[in-house]
Structure 1
Amino acid sequence: MVSFLRPASLAKAACLAIGLALMAGCTTTGTLGTVEAPRPAGDSARHAAMVVDGNNGKVLYQANAEAQRYPASLTKMMTLYMTFEAIEAGRLTKSTQIPVSTHAASRPPTKIGFRPGQTIDVDSAIYALAVKSANDVAVALGEALGGTEERFAEMMTAKARQLGMRNTVFRNASGLPDERQTTTARDMVVLGLALRNRFPQYYGYFGARSFDYRGKTIRGHNDLIGRVEGVDGIKTGYIRASGFNIVTSVNSEGRKLVVVVMGGDTARSRNAEVEQLIERYLPQASRGPVPVAAPAAATAMMDDPSRPQALVQ
């Protein structure tokens, strides 16, 4: 999914002053300190990246952040956002059994593997999405919440607009290929911030490296969790058209980042870029704690970094 920019002193400061709404037009070059400039994980046609301070929403870095990209399984972040909302509203509990339809069971891997008519409890379903990125379970949740996957996708898009994800359209619950399903690195940052700020009680799901289901231990494939200090989630994604995507949350000694990299040629090169971005920008992040932001505040904080405190509850 992207192209690549490198920040420079005065030009970068000007971009930040203008705010995220205008940053798509800012291109800067140069280096910062003694840390090497991040190297893109993929070709410029698919690559995009963004780094935001998780405490105040300040944009620290962006490359093609407003360019249209395919989300792949990053889509499941929104499926889970809406699942968490349903739990809070009492429409679901963690023990609610979710039926698996013929359509859901027929989804291609990655999947858990169900026969039509079987069920999965909501708690296990959340783990199946956050850890395994199971397409069959994502569709089952979407159908349970929306009646049909198509209707659920419309609900997902409406929720995206409510959160300030202005350039995202969802067409399914899983992220499986659909040329009409697009997003941007910026919008994925907004969603990552909204998940952490709106649902801190559920955020631990995104940091799990495995879960037990039906007597088996099912392991995930987010290699940054447990290997890179401070990384505590969130989600990976891949389809052929998108390349390797990731939204990564970092929390280290009160400093927080949300890092998005899209369009990597391999998972390894994508992860290497994320590590470079963390190394470079974590020292620049502010120290928390800060009050928990309202869901829409994540977008407002990014669009106007000069007013972060007025945007939190």
Structure 2
Amino acid sequence: MVVTTLMRWVRFGLLAFTLLCAPILAQAAPYAAIVMDARTGEILYSNNADTRLHPASLTKMMTLYLAFRAIERGEITLDTKITVSKNAAAQPPSRLGLKAGQKIALRYLIRAAAVKSANDAASAIGDGIAGSEEAWAERMTSMAKSLGMKNTTFKNANGLTRTGHLSTARDMTLLGRHLFYDFPQYYNIFSRRSADVGVGTVYSTNRKFLAAYEGADGIKTGYTSAAGFNLTASAKRGNKRIIATVFGGTSTAQRNAKMAELLDLGFGRAPGKVREQAPEAPQYLAEAPRDAPAPGHSAKTIRVTGAALVESPRPDSKPQMVDLPDTDTDAIMAAIALAQAPKPSDSAVVAAAVSDAQDAVASIADTPSDSGVLAPVAVAQAKGGLNVSPRPLKAPRRNDPVSEPEAPVAVAQAAAVPAPVIPAAKPTALQAAPTQTTAPQPETLALASAPAPAQTETAQEPLAAPAAGFVQSSKPQPETLLLASVGPTPAAPREDPVVIARASTSGGRHWGIKLGLHTSEYNAQRALVQTALMESNSLSEALRKVNRRPQGFEASFVGMTEDDAKLACRRIAARSNPCELIGP
């Protein structure tokens, strides 16, 4: 009897100690909080927001952010099977119950990490993509710095307490904002109350707050004894969206109540109408290349048909430019006369003119420039017509005196094909010819620096200033020689120049792609911008277009070649995003 009574008092004492001391022990974790207007990034309230604390499972937000980014870059897909590592299988609860060597699709691991906060699932994501816990932690920390999380360092993928694994309320709020803006297509996962993870159904650790607070749609809970009860939450009411973070809550109920209080404060302080300013995309280089093969997959070669098979050798070193004196205009005009003068019937006169022009080129090759350096291309031409491929100069701009010099189009033609001159001939306007409208190349400048041949002094009137341009030519083609033998043709009516921005190898830019329907024009435009950033190569010259349909707003890229459209659609579909080809 006495023993039984004593045992009852012992049990009662232990229960009383637990009830009285548990809150005190939980309060040992420091408290921190911050409230942000998600639309602008403005801080509406903060308390201890920059103190480095244990983030607990809020860490998984970064693991998920990097997983989404790896999918976006083509490093992995949602359906890629990841082999569970021994490290992942050994993680303590909360767990999904994964076994070492087990294969599971990435989409299920993402759901388990986001909804159930499973530690083994988060570690499996990191180990599967980066190869090891250490490599993944380095990637996480590098991305944190790129996002502006100045006081965060990561040591693992799940947030279990580890020396040096620390963050702040401010940094976690920044991360939550980037999740919302950078990956809106995946953000809905944080509002799910349950999810299928392939091996069963799991339930959200945040379902009580999601059900209790109006407008709440995420994001992540966290708890360890060192961290206390943490939560980063987002909610939308009207046109306002607020993100807040709490560190060091004493219980789930106390933390949720505090978060509701902070969000109410945010909605009260946030202005009704503001200009939304999405956060800048991170400049992060410590990832695998965009086209790197997914883990466990070999690299694939995509063959694009219809492309022109043209060899494109690396250009030679850029030759040194030669400074020309102001008196070179006469030599330039003389070269024009050489290029355009009609061919006489007397073959002796032709031979003499050709000889004189070749002597002029040879004299240029043997004459140093004002800077004491021989013009390299002129030397090559004088000594046998060596094919030199200098690096092209900067393309000209309108009204730019540097990129639109008075050097004529036909100077290079005169150098390559010296034409005879008839003293009585009056030079005509330049005939239309395919031109490369860039600044004159070094060989042109070198040729222009030579003394004017004697024959050109018989020109009766100065030539009209030609349009800026330059024709690169090699040996005269048969049709060129034939044209020279029949004399000048009447000047064709002047037409507006046609600028070809890029050659098409598939018959025209009549193709495009559709990215599906969206609920608003803003969402459609956002989808186009995000896709253009992901596929900057194949979509670099496509036009973005939003059409209003009865079902919503249709986002499209138009003005593409068939090859670019098909390539872009394949890559977009590989990321599990909708894409439909638009034909002519």
Task: Give the TM-score band, short-chain normalised.
Answer: 0.7 to 0.9
Q: Residue 228 of structure 2 corresponds to which residue in structure 1?
A: 243
Check conservation: 2:40, 2:278, Cα contact below 8 A: no
Q: Report the AA paired with residue 264 of structure 1.
A: G
| Alpha-carbon distance in structure 2 between the residues aligned to 1:215 and 1:242 | 30
SS of the counterpart of 2:109?
Answer: helix
Q: Residue 208 of structure 1 corresponds to which residue in structure 2?
A: 192
| Distance change (3 Å), C-alpha of 1:277 and 1:263 | same
In the TM superposition, what whole-angstrom CA distance separates every residue of 1:89-117 from its partner, at most 9, and x where no partner exists? 01111111111011110110101001111
| Alpha-carbon distance in structure 2 between the residues aligned to 1:152 and 1:98 | 15
In the TM superposition, what whole-angstrom CA distance separates every residue of 1:108-157 from its partner, at most 9, and x where no partner exists? 01010011111221111111111011111111110112110111101100
Kindly indicate whether residue 185 of structure 2 is the aligned counterpart of residue 197 of structure 1: no
| Alpha-carbon distance in structure 1 between the residues aligned to 2:80 and 2:105 | 5
TM (normalized to structure 2)?
0.43
| Alpha-carbon distance in structure 1 between the residues aligned to 2:196 and 2:167 | 32
| Alpha-carbon distance in structure 1 between the residues aligned to 2:214 and 2:126 | 34
Check conservation: 1:65, 1:186, Cα contact below 8 A: yes
| Alpha-carbon distance in structure 1 between the residues aligned to 2:155 and 2:54 | 11
| Distance change (3 Å), C-alpha of 1:141 and 1:258 | same
Q: Report the AA paired with residue 132 of structure 1.
A: K
Kindly indicate whether residue 54 of structure 2 is the aligned counterpart of residue 70 of structure 1: yes
SS of the counterpart of 2:219?
Answer: strand
Kindly indicate whether residue 233 of structure 2 is the aligned counterpart of residue 271 of structure 1: no
| Alpha-carbon distance in structure 1 between the residues aligned to 2:138 and 2:231 | 23
Counterpart of 1:91 (choices 75, 78, 83) is 75
Range with bigger deviation, 108-117 or 214-223:
214-223
SS of the counterpart of 1:181?
Answer: coil
Q: Residue 56 of structure 1 corresponds to which residue in structure 2?
A: 40
| Distance change (3 Å), C-alpha of 1:117 and 1:252 | same
| Alpha-carbon distance in structure 2 between the residues aligned to 1:187 and 1:44 | 22
| Alpha-carbon distance in structure 1 between the residues aligned to 2:80 and 2:29 | 43
SS of the counterpart of 1:144?
Answer: helix
SS of the counterpart of 1:171?
Answer: coil
Structure 2 residue ranges without an equivalent (≥5): 1-25, 284-525, 530-584
Identity of aligned residues (%): 43
Q: Residue 231 of structure 1 corresponds to which residue in structure 2?
A: 216
Cα shift at 1:45: 5.3
Check conservation: 1:56, 1:286, Cα contact below 8 A: no
Counterpart of 1:164 (choices 143, 148, 158) is 148
Cα shift at 1:286: 3.3
Q: Residue 243 of structure 2 corresponds to which residue in structure 1?
A: 258
Q: Residue 187 of structure 1 corresponds to which residue in structure 2?
A: 171
| Alpha-carbon distance in structure 1 between the residues aligned to 2:81 and 2:245 | 33
Structure 1 residue ranges without an equivalent (≥5): 1-41, 298-311
Q: Report the AA paired with residue 224 of structure 1.
A: F
Check conservation: 1:167, 1:183, Cα contact below 8 A: yes
Q: Residue 279 of structure 2 corresponds to which residue in structure 1?
A: 293
Kindly indicate whether residue 265 of structure 2 is the aligned counterpart of residue 280 of structure 1: yes
CA RMSD of aligned residues (A): 1.9
Larger radius of gyration: 2
Q: Report the AA paired with residue 295 of structure 1.
A: A
Cα shift at 1:179: 2.4
Range with bigger deviation, 283-292 or 178-187:
283-292
| Distance change (3 Å), C-alpha of 1:219 and 1:87 | same
Aligned residues: 258
Kindly indicate whether residue 87 of structure 2 is the aligned counterpart of residue 103 of structure 1: yes
| Distance change (3 Å), C-alpha of 1:59 and 1:291 | closer
| Distance change (3 Å), C-alpha of 1:213 and 1:45 | closer
| Alpha-carbon distance in structure 1 between the residues aligned to 2:199 and 2:136 | 31
| Alpha-carbon distance in structure 1 between the residues aligned to 2:28 and 2:44 | 20
Check conservation: 1:250, 1:256, Cα contact below 8 A: yes
Cα shift at 1:44: 7.7
| Alpha-carbon distance in structure 1 between the residues aligned to 2:164 and 2:279 | 31
SS of the counterpart of 1:151?
Answer: helix
In the TM superposition, what whole-angstrom CA distance separates every residue of 1:142-173 from its partner, at most 9, and x where no partner exists? 01121101111011001000100000000000
Q: Residue 205 of structure 2 corresponds to which residue in structure 1?
A: 221
In the TM superposition, what whole-angstrom CA distance separates every residue of 1:242-291 from its partner, at most 9, and x where no partner exists? 00000001111110111000000111101100011112221222346736
Higher relative contact order (CA 8 A, sep 6+): 1
Check conservation: 2:111, 2:195, Cα contact below 8 A: yes
Cα shift at 1:205: 0.9
SS of the counterpart of 2:173?
Answer: helix
| Alpha-carbon distance in structure 1 between the residues aligned to 2:169 and 2:44 | 13
| Alpha-carbon distance in structure 1 between the residues aligned to 2:277 and 2:45 | 24
| Alpha-carbon distance in structure 1 between the residues aligned to 2:46 and 2:277 | 25
| Distance change (3 Å), C-alpha of 1:224 and 1:295 | farther
Cα shift at 1:292: 3.9
In the TM superposition, what whole-angstrom CA distance separates every residue of 1:185-204 from its partner, at most 9, and x where no partner exists? 11011101111111111101
SS of the counterpart of 2:211?
Answer: coil
